[in-house]
Structure 1
Amino acid sequence: MVMLPPKRLRKFSKRSSSGCRTCRARHIKCDEAPGACNKCTSTGRKCDGYDLARLPVARLALALYPDVAPRLGWLTTTDEKRCFSYFMHSSIPSLSMFFDQPLWEKVAMQMSHVDRAVYHAANMLGALHEDSEQNQMRLSGENLSHPRHRFALDQASRAYEILHRRQASNDPKLREVMLLCCLLFVLSDLLMGRYDNALQHLRGGLRILQETQQQRQQRCIPELDDGLIYMFQRLDTEFSHFGPGEPFLFSGDGLEEDWPETDELHTLNDVCMSVRRALNVGIPFLAKAWLLTGADIAADYVNLHRKQERILSIYYKLQAQIQTLCDRSYSRFSHKEQQGLSLSMLQCLGQILGIKTCLIDGPLPPSWTPEFAALLSANEDFLAKFSERPTITMDYGIIPGLYVVTRCPHYLVRLRAIDILLSWPHCEAVANSNMVASLALETLRAEMQARDRLEVLGVDDEAAKALNSYLFNTLKSTSHAVNWSTVHASKILTTSKHM
């Protein structure tokens, strides 16, 4: 039995948001001078530069970037300039922090400077991202008494109006503009906890994508940006947990496809492509499995077990390939590439344990505890090694794996996972760390209450009440929350008192 010391859940507190990478590694105060800090240059050290999302937006805008307003072809208000600056200097670096993302770093940046619809949609996201960060990423709906929310609604209306006027346009870039705006709307809705709206915008974008692909076969129209297509495919797959249990457009389990036979991965891009294919298979399978009852699993166990074994074989091979690449060439990769490799391994480990346990009906036996503890330790090691903490990203990071850990039979292991989730409020695509932590905490609370052992949770009452309020306000605003795989698996909505 794995015995772990109890750990009290932390109250929320803001992390330090300043300092170059070198000074943070040396644990000294940085003067944050533009370009390279004086603390490094005055002592002959190399300044490794700044993580843009860590710097206060005002200082970042003044010190690291020129004013963008002169490059725009239209008049802008002070609020628009401020929120656009936040989008460029905080949202885009956050979205690109784990992996290089040309969609955000180039396409979105360029299009928001030349297309007013994208510009206003970007302002909307910038305003909501800033407000969400200041509220520990726990927004649960619109509050029109709040200036930022009113501003975001106004910017969304402007973007809609411009797109509506251009519907009959022959502009070859219109579809790409519409898809990028759809993506910005989806992200904004997710930050607001409006999952129904996010799903509606996603489906609208998928229809545009499907129509474009069909029309490309009939006549010559420009190809869409690969990053946009990938991002919609990623969201379509991830919404399996929050929608119908399977993707809308990119359906099919992919198990009958011819998988690459290569035994080696040579670059981070090779790893990302392989992990992407595996996630497109693994995520929908987990989403369906967590929605099944024990009777459902028993009735179709042979077929489910066959798929389970096939998917696990894919992940085991991928895990071995990533480990081989790390053993052979890890030191040759840049810091960011090393982070991407480690994150890809975490994604595999979380999926493997989730898929291995998803067909077990009822509580897991204690014999599973070491595997959950190992996955928890892998996430803790990643966080200890890499200090970057984006608040919004389209890449899966620690949230899915830690959610799997919260299903561990040992409650202290689960508490440690919940504590990590609460210590880093952020969103990974559709997943919100607060949502996952609060679901896990409510499940654990119900179990401890049944055993009359609530005192062992060690949860701060104020923090717990805030989380509970956030969770159920979000669930009440969503029409089909009871059918979310994570909510269904938590069994917290089995009584009407919560809805």
Structure 2
Amino acid sequence: MRNPQSPKNNTHLTNSLIGGLKESNSRLNRSGKARIRHWAPKVKTGCMTCRIRRVKCDETKPVCQRCSSTGRKCDGYNSVPPGPPTTVLSVVQMPSYWEVVSSNPVETESFRFFHSVTIPTLAGFFDQGRWARRLLQMSHRYPALWHAMTAVACIHRDFIANSTPITMSRMQDSSQVRLALQQWNKSIQSLQELLSGQVLTKFDRLVILSVCILFITMSSLQGRLWQAFVHINSGLKLIHQWKLADKGEDQRDEDSDLDVLLVLFTQLDSQARPYLPSLSNNLQWTDKQIILSSSTNPFKSLLEACVALEVHFNKMMQIYTNNSIYIDGLDAGMQIKRQQCLLGLTEWDARLDKYLGRTPQPENGKALKLLYVRRRLAQVALSMDLTEGELAHDDFVEDYAYMLRLMGDILGDPMDPLDSQPADIDQSQNMSFHLETITTEPLFLIALRCREPTIRRQAIRLLRQYPRREGICEGMAALKIAERVMEIEEECLSSPENACARGNWICENHRVTWLQFFLVHDRQARTVVHTREDLLHGQPGREIVTTYW
């Protein structure tokens, strides 16, 4: 049996991780010049951290900018040396890559932008300091991580500073994009070195998966879905190959770091599922599922609860993105999987209740609300009577209203999200990016499946008012599809009475039953929507073409 850490297998992993980047790399110029390390005087009056590192301190108090800008802990200006570092710091506070590249002002400035601006968009509700502290520290020992961070900073800056209206497709060429490509190429070269000829430590693996997440972030920010799919698939295969979901009961810092990665990769896998029927043959998408250790113990944190919930949610998505169920219904195997998902969610409820019994006021109220929304979405999908078709959703109107209220709370919407006639609010229409799945996907599903007109229109309003890209889910594309589906379905309101069938608000025959998603090219997708009437009469569906901003 081949050793998964062998140099030969590491080379295979390298090819898997960087396979989608060859075209971008070929456009880069390489100077080939070695970096020059500048001499700096010894520091005797600075903070203890800078004195130990023998670098010049700016002596800003209470913490110096030299430490805070690089994610280090500033130990102040006491004369007593600090105690021994923690396990994580002992790994990363050896001779630092920062000391090699700090003479490059462009890279340094981009890294600081990543630290101060980009990290909050990546961290999400369940991060627990991973991006803000530990990964920044680790980047000083891993050039692949350092350059991936600076590349993402450049693309993110271009994303938030771009003045193109969100109703138009933006240009993809700027000085920031060109700088990002150079940094991306350096990250790939360093990743190849890391994966060639050495046994990978646990920290090495965390760094590799983190670089993979940063590559996905870059691809998503640029709207390059195919590249994002390649990296998602590569990361999932590494998680399964390294058996990283198999953890014991004792949680350490690196275990919480891994939990954050498991949440992100599982959410991204769920977002990619609708596209897989048209992509799987080319991508060879992994069919393996993340299986967590069985436990009835209460969750130790909301992050642990989130990991378990996203695994159940992903299993549910794998059932309901199987095209055959929309034509032939659930077979016996699918029914068994659905019952297993329901049982898993019931066990999840019990573990969360035990956690909340011990922690009545969790660390983040919005995080808990987001868990409730994801849990309710899965419950609705798994509990409905599929023999009723789309009419089954009418039995869950109260559930959709409940989720919509929670979405309004998470977004901080200033008005009652269930107002039937909301007044126009002067709201900035700038697109924002978040790596974690938060509101776009739930609002899209509410607008798509709930036919009660007030709830549906409020979900669409929130999509329009808070334009977001979350993971690879494009909010404006979701908005366009939801509005078009509502328009198609409401044709029955002006149709001859004998053309309609039973159903509240929207008749059964006019309801959109099946959506197919296709990539036209990197920044454009095609969605084909089929009503029940289309399927009954063998009619082609109607197409919706959406372009990523």
Query: Which one of the candidate residues 431, 434, 447 is aligned to 2:489?
Result: 447
Change (3 A) 1:304 1:176: closer
62-71 or 285-294, larger mean C-alpha shift: 62-71
Q: Tell me the CA shift for residue 193 of structure 1.
A: 1.8
Query: Secondary structure at 2:389's aligned position in 1?
Result: coil
Shift of 1:75: 4.4
Secondary structure of the corresponding residue to residue 251 of structure 1: coil
Conserved 8 A contact 1:128-1:188: yes
Question: Does the residue aligned with 1:170 lie in a helix, a strand or coil?
Answer: coil
Q: Take 2:475 and 2:325, find their aligned partners in 1: how far apart are those partners? A: 28
What is residue 161 of structure 1 aligned with on the other side? 189
**CA spacing shift, 1:150–1:227, aligned 2, 3 Å:** farther
Measured after TM superposition, the shift of residue 207 of structure 1 is: 4.4
Kindly state the Cα deviation for residue 317 of structure 1 after the two structures are TM-superposed.
Answer: 4.9
**SS at 2:65 equivalent:** coil
Structure 1 contact 117–160 (Cα < 8 Å) conserved: yes
Report what 2:223 is aligned to.
193
Give the match for residue 494 of structure 1: 541
CA contact (8 A) 2:111 2:150 kept: yes
- 2:521 counterpart of 1:477: yes
* Structure 2 partner of 1:109: 136
Q: Which residue of 1 aligns with 2:467?
A: 425
Q: Could you tell me which of 124, 128, 143 is aligned with 2:151?
A: 124
In structure 2, distance between residues paired with 1:225 and 1:489: 44
Q: Which residue of 2 aligns with 1:437?
A: 479
Q: Which shifted more, 365-374 or 169-178?
A: 169-178
* 425 and 189 in structure 1: CA distance in 2 versus 1, 3 angstrom threshold: same
Instruction: Specify the code of the residue in structure 2 equivalent to 1:103.
Output: R
More deviation, 127-136/374-383: 127-136
CA distance 1:354–1:497, change in 2 (3 Å) = closer
Structure 1 position 419, deviation (Å): 1.7
Which of 348, 361, 364 does residue 318 from structure 1 map onto? 348
Task: List runs of 5+ in structure 1 lacking aligned partners.
Answer: 1-60, 217-222, 454-472
Deviation of 1:242 (Å): 1.5
Structure 1 residue 87: Cα displacement? 0.9
Provide the residue aligned with 1:66 in structure 2. Answer: 65
Could you say which residue in structure 2 is the equivalent of 1:181? 211
- Judge conservation of contact 1:426–1:432 (CA < 8 Å) in 2: yes
Pairing of 1:290-369 with structure 2 (within 5 A)? 290-293=321-324, 296-298=327-329, 300-319=330-349, 322=352, 326=356, 329-331=359-361, 333=362, 336-357=363-384, 359=386, 361-364=389-392, 366-369=394-397
Name the CA distance, whole Å, in 1 between partners of 2:192 and 2:404. Answer: 48
**Partner of residue 177, structure 2:** 149
1:237 matched to 2:266? The reply is: yes
**Residues 326 and 481 of structure 1, relative CA distance in 2, 3 Å threshold:** same
Give the partner amino acid of 2:483.
Answer: L
Q: Could you give the per-residue CA deviations for residues 175-211 of structure 1, whole angstroms, max 9, x where no partner exists?
A: 5443332221011112222121012123333444555
Tell me how far 1:289 sits from its aligned partner.
1.3
CA separation of 1:488/1:77 partners in 2, compared to 1, >3 Å: closer, same or farther?
farther
CA spacing shift, 1:104–1:250, aligned 2, 3 Å: farther
Structure 2 residue 399 is the aligned partner of structure 1 residue 371: yes
Checking the alignment, whether the CA contact within 8 Å between 1:391 and 1:425 is kept in structure 2 is yes
Q: Residue deviations 1:148-167, cap 9 Å, x none?
A: 22221121122223333555
Provide closer, same or farther for how the CA distance between residues 92 and 361 of structure 1 changes in structure 2, counting only shifts above 3 A: same
Closer, same or farther: CA 209–366 of 1 in aligned 2, 3 Å: closer
Q: Deviations over 1:422-476 (max 9, x none)?
A: 33333433433333333222222332356569xxxxxxxxxxxxxxxxxxx9943
Deviations 1:118-145 (A, max 9, x none): 2221011112222323459969999443
Distance 1:314 1:75, change over 3 A: closer
1:351–1:489 CA distance, 2 compared to 1 (3 A): farther
Percent of paired sites with the same residue: 17
Partner of 2:8: none
Cα distance between partner residues in 2 of 1:415 and 1:338: 26
Kindly indicate whether the alpha-carbon contact (under 8 Å) linking 2:127 and 2:260 is maintained by their aligned counterparts in 1: no
Matched, 1:251 2:288: yes
Matched, 1:400 2:441: yes
Residue 343 to residue 309, structure 1, CA distance change in 2 (3 Å): same
C-alpha change, 1:137 and 1:85, in structure 2 (3 Å) is farther
1:63–1:350 distance in 2 versus 1, CA, 3 Å: farther
Task: State whether residues 405 and 417 of structure 1, in contact with CA within 8 Å, keep that contact through their aligned partners in structure 2.
Answer: yes
Cα RMSD for the two superposed structures:
4.5
Deviations 1:325-384 (A, max 9, x none): 5577434x4xx4333323222221222223334945345564432332222123223444
Alignment of 1:226 onto 2:241: no
CA–CA distance in structure 1, aligned partners of residues 122 and 65 of structure 2: 21
Q: 1:295 to 1:438 in 2, by over 3 A?
A: closer
1:261 aligns with 2:296: yes
TM-score w.r.t. length of structure 2: 0.60
In 1, Cα distance between equivalents of 2:359 and 2:443: 28
> Counterpart of 1:32?
none
Match of 1:414 among 435, 445, 456: 456
Greater Rg over alpha carbons, structure: 2
Secondary structure of 1:330 counterpart: coil
State the Cα distance separating 1:303 from its structure 2 match. Answer: 3.8
Aligned to 2:160: 133
Is the contact made by 2:369 and 2:410 (CA closer than 8 Å) also made in structure 1? yes
Task: String of CA shifts for 1:238-286, please: whole Å, max 9, x gaps.
Answer: 32441437995572485xx884334xx364x1x4324422321332322
Distance verdict in 2 for CA 1:64–1:433, change over 3 Å: farther
Offset of 1:108 from its aligned partner? 1.7
> In structure 2, do the counterparts of structure 1 residues 199 and 443 end up closer, same or farther at CA, with 3 Å as the change threshold?
same
SS of the residue 1:242 aligns to: helix
Q: Distance in 1 between matches of 2:310 and 2:487?
A: 31
Higher mean alpha-carbon deviation, 225-234 vs 343-352, is at: 225-234
Whichever residue aligns with residue 251 of structure 1, its letter is: K
State the distance in 1 between where 2:196 and 2:436 align: 35
TM-score (norm 1): 0.65
